[in-house]
Structure 1
Amino acid sequence: MVTIPLHCPHCQSEILVRNGHALNGKQLYRCRSCGRQSRENPTPHAYPKARREEILSAYQERSRLRGLTRTFGVSRTTVSLWIKKKVAQLPPFSTTVLAPDPEDAASCTLELDELWSFVLKKVNQIWVWIALCRKTRQVVAYALGDRSAKTCQRLWEAIPQGYLQGHCFTDFWVAYSAVISDEQHTAVGKETGETAHVERWNNTLRQRLARFIRMTLSFSKSVIMHEACLLLFLHRYNRERAILLM
């Protein structure tokens, strides 16, 4: 009789104890060294990389996590894990932003706006602050928080250096005038059309991600997941805009 020793796939330790069974009947083991769980004779990934990317793309087209379960048969917990892992592997957000032309003032003109959202329940308001380049339509910076000047300051500090000298158009919310100097800031109403591009972008976000719709049963249960889904969308959006401008 040949005995095949069991090893923890995470730390290679042999100190394993039985820890129940999986839904398919396979024995589960818990490693006493690292505390992580594994199963007997694990199968390869049920979803190849191409399939996972397809499901994540479908998620960014207003499909809800439960909707993905019905469509693809994948657990919403699994999709949430994919999203977090993919966001952790993303390059810095600034790398997706095209540099402005120093000889073209219009290339660094920005439109700023804030978008209402919530986490877990509507009393937990999370405002999404966006700085959009008027010429490229790329999102050059974002910030999540309340609607105070403190969050507006974080948005301003996140704007790449090349855009900081550009002129900014916003609505009449007082936080903007408290952060941006009068020389490069103009507060306008929606009827002027000066913030039409960023207002339209807000609609794009709401159309793409179900958790950002005003009246919806889809919502984030944590701020971490809320920002992860937003950041994943922003990277994809900026890359698509950059390709169109080539």
Structure 2
Amino acid sequence: MIQETRTHTCRGCGSPNIVKNGTNRSGSPQYHCKECGVYRVLKPKQAYSETERQRVLRACLQRCSLRGVERIFDMARQTVTQWIKAHVQHAPDFRETLLPAAPDDVLELDEIWSFVRKKEDPRWVWTALYRRTRQIVAFAIGDRSKATYLRLWKSIPEEYKHCHTFSDFWAASKQVFPAETHGCVGKETGETAHRERWNNTLRQRDLMSIMRELPSGFFFSTT
């Protein structure tokens, strides 16, 4: 049997006069140098490369959950969260991503229902989808009142407010959106088909990912 003994030295001054000093929050061994007095990690982990960071961010953009990323790439969720926050800070402003509105552009309006903790506390998420790019350009969260619909109207970018809009037959839409450009239609017309499909995607995939990240005691409806 061959055994190899390795002697560690201080990463600051190079002195071998160091002693163990427990572990840090990540479980990595630490040491204390009696020569220069520093407290450091004995064998610090190597920094992730930019290639690895981009691979993780691409996985997140494909709606992989944080726990899924943790298992696949063998890294802490806290690290992934920090990378996501830094990435978002450099993302372009929402209005910079919008195309100039054209005279024949259409916004599809619809809502999706959920609840917080219990069904007696319902919430409706109202959104406006820009048909040409399938981009959500405005939203409002609340009840089914005129006040919530008014918040949706106010959140629509100014140059998009002249677009034709389609929604279901909910009365509040007629009270808020201009009659000359707004139409109330049924699902059979196909005028809100893209918006209905977005709802289905949210129910079947995105909400399930959200649910996996929530602590116990939080409840969502996918209806």
- Could you tell me the TM-score, scaled by structure 2's length? 0.67
Cα distance between partner residues in 2 of 1:206 and 1:143: 18
Can you list the C-alpha shifts for 1:40-72, whole angstroms capped at 9, x where unaligned?
Answer: 369587333443332232233342221221111
| Residue 203 of structure 1 pairs with residue 200 of structure 2 | yes
| Alpha-carbon distance change, 88 to 178 in structure 1, aligned in 2, over 3 angstroms | farther
| Alpha-carbon distance change, 80 to 40 in structure 1, aligned in 2, over 3 angstroms | same
Cα distance between partner residues in 1 of 2:79 and 2:57: 11
Work out whether residues 110 and 132 of structure 1, in 8 Å CA contact, stay in contact via their aligned partners in 2. yes
Q: 1:190 aligns with which of 144, 162, 187?
A: 187
Residue type of the alignment partner of 1:203: N
Q: What is the Cα deviation at residue 106 of structure 1?
A: 1.8
1:12 aligned residue:
none
Of all paired residues, the percent bearing the same amino acid is 44
1:135 aligned residue:
132
1:40 aligned residue:
40
Residue type of the alignment partner of 1:218: R
Work out whether residues 62 and 207 of structure 1, in 8 Å CA contact, stay in contact via their aligned partners in 2. no
Cα distance between partner residues in 2 of 1:54 and 1:150: 43
Cα distance between partner residues in 2 of 1:186 and 1:194: 9
Can you list the C-alpha shifts for 1:22-57, whole angstroms capped at 9, x where unaligned?
Answer: 3112369xxxxxxxxxx8369587333443332232
Residue type of the alignment partner of 1:169: F
1:229 aligned residue:
none
Residue type of the alignment partner of 2:166: F
Can you list the C-alpha shifts for 1:139-184, whole angstroms capped at 9, x where unaligned?
Answer: 2223344444333323222222221011110122333233213222
Pick 1 or 2: higher relative contact order, CA cutoff 8 A, min separation 6: 1
| Residue 175 of structure 1 pairs with residue 179 of structure 2 | no
Q: What is the Cα deviation at residue 189 of structure 1?
A: 1.5
Work out whether residues 171 and 188 of structure 1, in 8 Å CA contact, stay in contact via their aligned partners in 2. yes
Say which SS state the counterpart of residue 106 (structure 1) adopts. Answer: coil
2:110 aligned residue:
113
Q: 1:156 aligns with which of 153, 160, 172?
A: 153
Cα distance between partner residues in 1 of 2:165 and 2:112: 17
Q: Which has the higher helix share?
A: 1
Q: What is the Cα deviation at residue 97 of structure 1?
A: 0.8
Can you list the C-alpha shifts for 1:179-234, whole angstroms capped at 9, x where unaligned?
Answer: 2132222111111111001112233445653xx249x842556xxxxxxxxxxxxx
Say which SS state the counterpart of residue 114 (structure 1) adopts. Answer: strand
| Alpha-carbon distance change, 181 to 75 in structure 1, aligned in 2, over 3 angstroms | same
Residue type of the alignment partner of 2:113: W
CA-based RMSD: 3.6
| Alpha-carbon distance change, 4 to 77 in structure 1, aligned in 2, over 3 angstroms | closer
| Alpha-carbon distance change, 87 to 143 in structure 1, aligned in 2, over 3 angstroms | farther
Cα distance between partner residues in 2 of 1:26 and 1:88: 33
Say which SS state the counterpart of residue 69 (structure 1) adopts. Answer: helix
| Residue 21 of structure 1 pairs with residue 24 of structure 2 | yes
| Alpha-carbon distance change, 67 to 194 in structure 1, aligned in 2, over 3 angstroms | same
Work out whether residues 109 and 128 of structure 2, in 8 Å CA contact, stay in contact via their aligned partners in 1. yes
